[in-house]
């Protein structure tokens, strides 16, 4: 989601790993990298960045139905207790999808960050389908000037 390239030290020209605040060689302060994708966080503040504009709420939604086969498998797994693997992998995919859509919607709004992100799931159609939603606040952030 967030791409950071290696940081080059302005003083000794040696490179440090992406995201470093200080040069690993000489200890000089490095610039906070510019964000090229959309940064999604659950917090309302981001270290080293400031929110310059709030664009409004943003969401990503996906609805999953559970086929009869999956339901029977989940039922059998449920009888023995423990993790319902057939359902958790599906939930994992659905959550990722809602995140991807959240990011897409945020990009459309011109945001480079989504703050205060939260997830919600709810069953509809008598529990035969589940809504996975991700929502947050679309914002524009920039590195704080030191
Ligand atoms: Zn250096």
* Average pLDDT of the residues of the chain: 85
> At residue 1, does pLDDT exceed 50?
no
Total number of domains constituting the chain:
2
As beta bridge partners, residue 61 has: 133
Q: Are residues 105 and 45 in the same domain?
A: yes
| Enclosing domain of residue 85 | 35-143
CB atoms within 10 A of CB 72: 11
To the question of pTM greater than 0.75 for the whole model, the response is no
What is the structure's pLDDT at 114? 97
pLDDT digit string (tens) for 38-90? 999 999 999 989 999 999 999 999 998 876 666 666 777 777 777 777 777 88
Q: Are residues 97 and 63 in the same domain?
A: yes
Ligand 1 geometric centre to CA of 11 (Å)? 5
What is the structure's pLDDT at 43? 95
Q: Are residues 22 and 52 in the same domain?
A: no
Q: Are residues 91 and 23 in the same domain?
A: no
Percent of the chain with pLDDT over 70: 88
Q: Are residues 22 and 88 in the same domain?
A: no
Ligand 1 geometric centre to CA of 4 (Å)? 18
Pick from 113, 131, 135, 133: nearest CA to 122: 131
Q: Are residues 49 and 21 in the same domain?
A: no
Ligand 1 geometric centre to CA of 113 (Å)? 30
Q: Are residues 14 and 72 in the same domain?
A: no
């Amino acid at each position: 989601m967030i791409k950071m390239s290696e940081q080059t030290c302005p003083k000794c020209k040696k490179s440090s790993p992406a995201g470093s605040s200080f040069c690993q060689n000489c200890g000089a302060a490095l610039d906070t990298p510019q964000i090229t994708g959309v940064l999604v966080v659950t917090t309302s503040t981001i270290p080293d960045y400031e929110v310059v504009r709030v664009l409004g709420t943003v969401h990503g939604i996906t609805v999953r139905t559970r086929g009869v086969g999956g339901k029977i498998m989940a039922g059998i797994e449920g009888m023995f207790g423990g993790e319902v693997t057939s359902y958790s992998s599906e939930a994992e995919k659905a959550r990722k999808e809602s995140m991807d859509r959240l990011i897409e919607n945020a990009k459309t709004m011109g945001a480079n960050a989504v703050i205060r992100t939260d997830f919600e799931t709810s069953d509809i159609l008598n529990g035969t389908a589940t809504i996975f939603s991700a929502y947050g606040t679309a914002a524009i952030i920039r590195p704080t000037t030191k």
